[in-house]
Amino acid sequence: MTALLEVQNLRLTAAGRAIVDGVSFQVEPGESVAITGPSGAGKTTLALTVLGHLRDGVTHDGGQVLVDGRPTLPQPPPELRGGLVGYVGQDPGNSLNPYARVATTLLRVTARSVPRPQRSALVSELLARVGLPTELAQRYPHQLSGGQQQRVVIAAALARNPRLLVLDEPTTALDLVAKAEVVAELRRVSDAGISLLWVTHDLASVETVVDRVVTIGEPTTASYSHAPVATAAREVVLTATGVTAGYGHTSVLRAVDLELRSGELLAVLGASGVGKSTLARVLTGLHRPASGTLAHRGERLPWDVRRRSRAERAAIQLVGQNPAEALHPRQTVRTALTRPLVRLRNLPTAEHDGEIKLLLDAVQLPIEVADRLPGELSGGMRQRVALARALAARPEVIVCDEITSALDSSTQSAILRMLDELRAELGLAVVLITHDADVAASVSDRLLVLASGRVARTGATADLLPPGESPEERVRHLLIDHTDL
Amino acid sequence: MSRLGKAGWALFFLLLLVILIGPAIAPNTATHPVGPPYAPPSGRALLGTDHLGRDMLSRLLLGGRPLLLTSLAAAAAGTLAGSLTGLVAALSRRRLGAWLMRPLDAITAVPPILLLLLCLTALPNRTGLVIAVAITSAPLSARVARSAAAQVAGRAHVENAIARGENWSWLLGREILPLVAGPLLADFGIRFVAAVYLVAAAGFLGLGASDTDWGRLIVEALPGAALQPVALLAPVIGVAFLAVAANLASDRAAQNSRGLLA
Amino acid sequence: MRPVHPLLRHALSGLAGNVVLLAGLSFLVFVGVDLLPGDPITSRLGPTATPERIAAVRAELGLDQPVLTRYGDWLAGIVHGDLGRSAAGQPVTELLSGRVGNSILLACLATACLIPLSFGFGLAAARRRGRPADRAISTGSLLLLSVPEFVVAGFLVLILAIGLRLLPAVSLVPAGSSPVRHSEVLVLPVLSLLLVGLAYATRVIRAAAAGTLRAPYVEFLRLSGQSERTILRTAVVPAVLPVAVQIWLLTGVSMIGGAVLVEKVFGYPGIGELLVTSVQTGDLAVVQALVLVLGGATLAVLLIADLAMVLLTPRLRTGGGAE
């Protein structure tokens, strides 16, 4: 029996660099396989070659991809795309034609002319297959939720009864509820005997669906975890009470209370759009809340950072999400680190060089980095520099807003480990804002779960996310319990 | 595109040179007749003569510099005024920004050529011309500056600078201007192209920067174009070359400034 | 409250905004011009004019009144359809009546040619991105983009009228006759206007189409086995159309501006020619009236372009997304 999909020693290059270097594997009919690997390992590029598609700039450099015994490169067989192989992409919001209604999109992919009276029945059937009601047929993509959009994409991919579905991170852009929806749908597809080729960076969520895992590129390092510290006895450094904040007339945060003790790591966990970043900006004085108070060691702090004293500004530092924007593209690392020494610590010029070396040491960067521009550094290195810049102020509190979400998993765990060590050495209190339950579970002492702008749960991490259970599942339960209350 | 861009720059600088030294190398004066009207090109007048028998080559060489300098001055004035308004609008509070930008939006509703004509009717001289062109270009420059600065102002490193208490001169001079200078320069190129167009058009209407303005040479040569086509061809090619070269150069500047924020 | 249809809401708010803008424009046109340095009377009469003479002309033109009073009178006249009087005492409305049609004819003909040509060239270039056909179209339009219409007109006169003797160099239309009767006089003016507008519209449409062809949803359609033809028809054209309609309308209205100079080149009897003559004789009243009328027309077209965009974009038409 021939394999449904056979990848033979495939080599793909882009800009003179091999992005897929001699990958081979097979998928048997009815079998489901996950492809995993660090970001930049060419997972998506590999998946697209199964459909005979090379993105701009990618060249086929050797090897072959066979679907049902026929090669897909350089030209796929005519009935392959949409016929034999269906495709589901990463971001459902961008996968659907925004100018066509759901029914039109679905009818078009069936690629056969359907008499007018039978059309609505066919569309209803295709929607029913992915558990969506008929009413959605007349909607445009922007009138659907993320989970619904992705299920419409799956319906379109299934419309011509393919034998293989290529899934490129189909749940990455979705929130927790939509993700569960889509994973359940794909499990049903797999149970119906259709093979899946599932590209993912997050094995935990696909484990229950796939039969086998293929890893390409460098293996990812194990994620980091730390021993929680008992902090109850330590003094409180930062207290926020009743924070309500928003933009214009919409409030994003509602009556949020938060307490931070010295040396503790508090994780603020929540899905995208619940106001986590707003909380970070409120605490660091960049966004003025509508109401609420903030106190630093019992002293009331003004909300606006411009009204805070030098010591107060230095005490709370922010490290942001996007390493690309964190540093000025035309200023060297040295300038970035010197300014806080001048403005916040009033350090004499003679001591700058020594201090910069100490700071770069602390974030495990070589001293040579000091004279580089941010453009010459990788995302992980920039994020370390941003952290060093925050440390340069000698803060008591560092607010980290999704500092690892733009990084691949090995860099992510290295940064988290470093943060944890710095905290132990310097007695820093850290507010770690994240959407990733695994990250929160692995490094935090206490947890604060945000849902629709409110504090849904707060408590010791060990109690809320006991080891041995999937943190993501636990968080979902916590949130569902909360909505029942 | 980059080969075309380089050719554009080369052509642009060559033209600049010819135009700037033009009045010095002109063989005759602009007003003195050297032969019969509409005489074809000859040894005495390389590009022939115009309807009054004046030397076309000299008139062309004498007319370039005022056209170029007036366009430059007008584009610089417009870009400067517009950029300042745009930067202030982007960095100040939202309501003040809107109030600064709104009158400028009203101006963009009028085709530039009409604004030019309006200003020239009221003030028919070179100052009027510069003011008119500056008025038409300022609103567009303001928009460019505002959106470029707004993109930069929200970046994490600027907020970080605000949070560590940097003063205005550092914020504007060190954090924001280095990042918006590229787009502003590219915008100046575009304004210059538009200014050449308008100044030449004013010349065409007889209200230009000088009596030998290239636009004016075109309109004077039109009636006799059948007799002396070179008199029409020469200024037409001159304006077209200047416009195209300026456009290619500004297009290249715009491409270079892109990707800076990526 | 009954929900207002998003399109109607858009139209109403746009209309209100336009009325405010038009009022602001009229103020700028009248009072702003008065604030310009220099004085129209002295610059017209020359430095040798005696103060008595200047005062006399001033009183004759009503310039001795305060500017706001004059503005009020002028505005009141316009509201009643009276655009004022020219320096020679003729009502501006009368001056315009015979010419408006001719100018509109010119702009409409040029726009009618512009629409299919720019759409075809723009899409063709985008589909062949980076290949010779695209380079030719992109380079050609970049070169043509910056050249003033009257210079293009000059070239056309040299090539088509003088070189090849195909067409008349001057649009002589006998008094009382319409240019439609003498269609040969229309060719050069229309062509001059078209070429520059075409360069701009083609570039914008090419950029929009090229962007759409790289969009993830086009990749998804390709990966679902849709043919390039179907993708072009169902995904690219709908995405480009809102942009294209805006550009066509904007270029159409900007042709009125370009027409001012082109009409002068060919002696074509439109409002452009009247405007130019008025500028040259310093007839401020006529120029102000024309600027206001054309500015109003531009605002109206901008509003239509805005509404067309809303109408052609599902996300805007249906009023935002699902929560």
Tens digits of residue pLDDT in A357-372: 999 988 888 998 899 8
Instruction: Tell me, yes or no, whether C172 and C144 share the same domain.
Output: yes
d(CA A294, CA A31) in angstroms, rounded, equals 56
Instruction: Tell me, yes or no, whether C88 and C160 share the same domain.
Output: no
Residue C236 lies in a domain: yes
Instruction: Tell me, yes or no, whether C273 and C201 share the same domain.
Output: yes
Query: Is the Cβ pair B166, A343 closer than 8 Å?
Result: yes
CA A126 from centre of chain: 31
Instruction: Tell me, yes or no, whether C80 and C146 share the same domain.
Output: no
Distance from CA of A86 to the nearest CA of C (A): 6
Q: Chain B: list its partners (3+ Cβ pairs within 8 Å).
A: A, C
Nearest Cα residue to C251 out of C293, C294, C304, C193: C193
ipTM score of the complex? 0.75
In the sheet where A164-168 sits, what is the strand order? A85-88, A164-168, A195-199, A32-36, A212-215
Single residue among C59, C93, C127 that ends a domain in this structure = C93
Q: Give A-chain residues touching C224 at CB under 8 angstroms.
A: 81-82, 86-87, 109, 156-157
Query: Could you tell me the CATH number of the domain that includes residue C196?
Result: 1.10.3720.10
Instruction: Tell me, yes or no, whether C128 and C216 share the same domain.
Output: yes
Q: Report the pLDDT value the prediction gives residue C61, as an integer from 0 to 100.
A: 65
Instruction: Tell me, yes or no, whether C245 and C136 share the same domain.
Output: yes
Whether the CB of C96 is below 8 Å from some CB of chain A: the reply is no
Preceding peptide of A74 cis, ω within 30°: yes
pLDDT top residue among A317 and A422: A317
Task: Locate A371 and state its tokens.
Answer: 């004279």
Residue C203 lies in a domain: yes
Whether the CB of B209 is below 8 Å from some CB of chain C: the reply is no
Query: Is the Cβ pair C224, A91 closer than 8 Å?
Result: no
Residues in Cβ contact with A382 at an 8 Å cutoff, skipping those fewer than 6 apart: A323, A324, A326, A327, A374
Residue C323 lies in a domain: no
d(CA A195, CA A199) in angstroms, rounded, equals 13
Instruction: Tell me, yes or no, whether C163 and C297 share the same domain.
Output: yes
Q: Report the pLDDT value the prediction gives residue C1, as an integer from 0 to 100.
A: 46
**What domains appear along chain B, each with residue ranges and CATH number?**
53-260 (1.10.3720.10)
In the sheet where A236-247 sits, what is the strand order? A250-261, A236-247, A291-296, A299-300
User: How many structural domains does chain C have?
Assistant: 2
Instruction: Tell me, yes or no, whether C44 and C184 share the same domain.
Output: no
Residue C322 lies in a domain: no
Residues 148..207 of B with a Cβ closer than 8 Å to C: which?
193, 196-197, 200-201, 204-207
Residues 226..255 of B with a Cβ closer than 8 Å to C: which?
226, 229, 232-233, 235-236, 239-240, 243-244, 246-248, 251
Determine if residue A114 is left, alpha or beta; phi over 0 gives left, psi from -120 to 50 gives alpha, anything else beta.
beta
Single residue among C49, C64, C93 that ends a domain in this structure = C93
- pLDDT (tens digit, 9 = 90+) per residue, C36-83? 665 656 656 666 777 787 777 777 666 677 778 888 888 888 777 777
Instruction: Tell me, yes or no, whether C256 and C111 share the same domain.
Output: yes
Residue C107 lies in a domain: yes
Residue C321 lies in a domain: no
Residue C1 lies in a domain: no
Residues 202..241 of C with a Cβ closer than 8 Å to A: which?
214-217, 219-226, 230, 234-235, 238-239
- pLDDT (tens digit, 9 = 90+) per residue, C92-114? 888 887 788 888 888 889 999 99
Residue for token pair 């008139």: B59
Distance from CA of B21 to the nearest CA of A (A): 38
Nearest Cα residue to C257 out of C314, C297, C198, C304: C297
Instruction: Report whether pLDDT(A483) > 60.
Output: no
Residue for token pair 């800009």: A15
**What domains appear along chain A, each with residue ranges and CATH number?**
5-215 (3.40.50.300), 236-478 (3.40.50.300)
What range defines the domain where residue C129 resides? 99-316
Type of residue numbered A148: Q
Residues 131..190 of A with a Cβ closer than 8 Å to C: which?
140, 142-145, 153, 156-157, 160
pLDDT over 70 percentage in chain A? 93
Give the Cα-Cα-Cα angle C138, C144, C145 (nearest 5 degrees): 85
Single residue among C47, C70, C93 that ends a domain in this structure = C93
Instruction: Tell me, yes or no, whether C113 and C231 share the same domain.
Output: yes
Instruction: Tell me, yes or no, whether C113 and C86 share the same domain.
Output: no
Query: Is the Cβ pair B157, A306 closer than 8 Å?
Result: no
Q: Tens-digit pLDDT profile for chain B (262 aa)?
A: 456 667 777 877 888 888 888 888 877 777 777 778 877 787 777 777 877 778 888 888 888 888 889 999 999 999 999 998 888 888 776 677 777 777 777 777 777 888 888 888 777 778 888 998 999 899 888 988 888 888 787 788 888 898 888 888 888 888 888 888 888 888 888 888 889 888 888 888 877 767 788 888 888 888 777 778 888 888 888 888 888 888 777 777 777 665 444 3
Instruction: Tell me, yes or no, whether C161 and C302 share the same domain.
Output: yes
Chain B, nearest residue to A344 by Cα? B164
